[in-house]
Amino acid sequence: MAQIIDGKKLAIELQDECIRRSEALKASGIVPRLDVVIVGNDPASHQYVNSRGKDCEAVGIESRVHTIDEGADEAELIRVLDELSADRSVHGILLQLPLPKHMNTEKVITHIAPEKDVDGLTVANQGALYAGSGGFAPCTPSSIMHLIKSTGVSIKGKNAVVVGRSIVVGKPAAMLLLSEHATVTVCHSRTADLAAHTKNADIVIAAVGVPELIKGDMLKEGAIVVDAGINRVDGRTVGDVHFDSAEKVAGYISPVPGGVGPVTRKILLKNTLSAAEKTDAGE
Ligand code: NDP
């Protein structure tokens, strides 16, 4: 039976770290601050944004929400992002996606200052990740790496298979694994024989959005399995891995819920604190 990678426990440890760092910043006269920008009134998005505000409050990060009318033009959103990017008291900017269809998401994102882009959305941060030159990686793949590292198993030289190639999860997860010297294979919807790849993997990352796609018989004995999937099925939240069969084969496995999600939330706070600490160093 696999050992469970307990995301909730890891999140508590990260929370303590964030509180310490936030207190140290305040002692040096800097109040860390994350500003969230949201367009429209979608209740689920607002709920998400409100809970990010509570996460900030819990570790002593100031947070402000800027709500822009659904019908506002793109220029209005860009103006807000430009102002926040220029405001020295703002350390992190989180733009809630998706944007309404009349807005050009790629263009809008260029108005987030890369050093405040704590969710790793900008091309500048994607390029830094590709080049291995620092910057902010998106929070979910950073969380995935934190979960893998928490097992204490060395990533170097391991076969890692990432299932999913989105710009927010799969691709950056592959780059982060590569930077830790894993041998990385990226699978996607056109992969001919998914199981042939996953069966050969010491580390499997599921970032697919297909409920319970990866079953125990697709895994190598003892593999580390990290499941980023969040799917609602019959009122339950399930991952992209079929947990019951996978835990019989894997060495370590992250559950859904209680795995990647809680750690992802804390990574956003950590990134905001890192941005604030860099401000400190530069002044
Ligand atoms: P996307 O829909 O953007 O990407 C899904 C990827 O999975 C695509 O690359 C797609 O391939 C691939 N795929 C789809 N079906 C299959 C299949 N049958 N076999 C192999 N590959 C397949 O999703 P995201 O990356 O945004 O999200 C992935 C999952 O992670 C979702 O469940 C989402 O809810 C969750 N998520 C979790 C977060 C967290 O913090 N825990 C944050 C963000 C997302 P192709 O490219 O060919 O279409």
- Those residues whose C-beta lies under 8 Å from the C-beta of residue 104, and which sit 6 or more positions away, are 74
More confident residue, 250 or 282: 250
End-to-end Cα separation, the chain, in angstroms: 52
Q: What's residue 249's pLDDT? A: 98
97 DSSP 8-state letter: S
Q: What's residue 268's pLDDT? A: 98
Closest Cα to atom 1, ligand 1: which residue?
Answer: 166
Residues with CB under 6 A from ligand 1: 140, 163-166, 168-170, 187-191, 194, 207-210, 213, 228-231, 240, 260-261, 264
Q: Model confidence over 94-152: pLDDT tens digits?
A: 999 999 999 999 999 999 999 999 999 999 999 999 998 889 999 999 999 999 999 99
**Cα(248)–Cα(267) distance, integer angstroms:** 30
Closest Cα to atom 19, ligand 1: which residue?
Answer: 189
Question: What are the chain's domains?
Answer: 29-114 (3.40.50.10860), 139-261 (3.40.50.720)
Ligand 1 center from residue 227 Cα (angstroms): 11
Break the chain down into helix, strand, coil percent, rounded to 5: 45, 15, 40
3-class DSSP state of 225: strand
**Cα(77)–Cα(205) distance, integer angstroms:** 35
Closest Cα to atom 13, ligand 1: which residue?
Answer: 189
Q: Model confidence over 27-50: pLDDT tens digits?
A: 999 999 999 999 999 999 999 999
Closest Cα to atom 17, ligand 1: which residue?
Answer: 189
Residue 223 in contact with residue 2, Cβ under 8 Å? no
Q: What's residue 280's pLDDT? A: 54
Pocket residue to mutate for ligand 1, from 162, 208, 230, 260, most atoms within 8 A of Cβ: 208
**Cα(160)–Cα(225) distance, integer angstroms:** 10
Ligand 1 center from residue 139 Cα (angstroms): 15
Ligand 1 center from residue 197 Cα (angstroms): 17
Q: What is the mean pLDDT of the chain?
A: 96
| % pLDDT > 90, the chain | 97
Give the orientation angle of helix 260-282 with respect to helix 43-59, to 10 degrees. 60
The reported pTM is 0.96
**Cα(73)–Cα(75) distance, integer angstroms:** 5
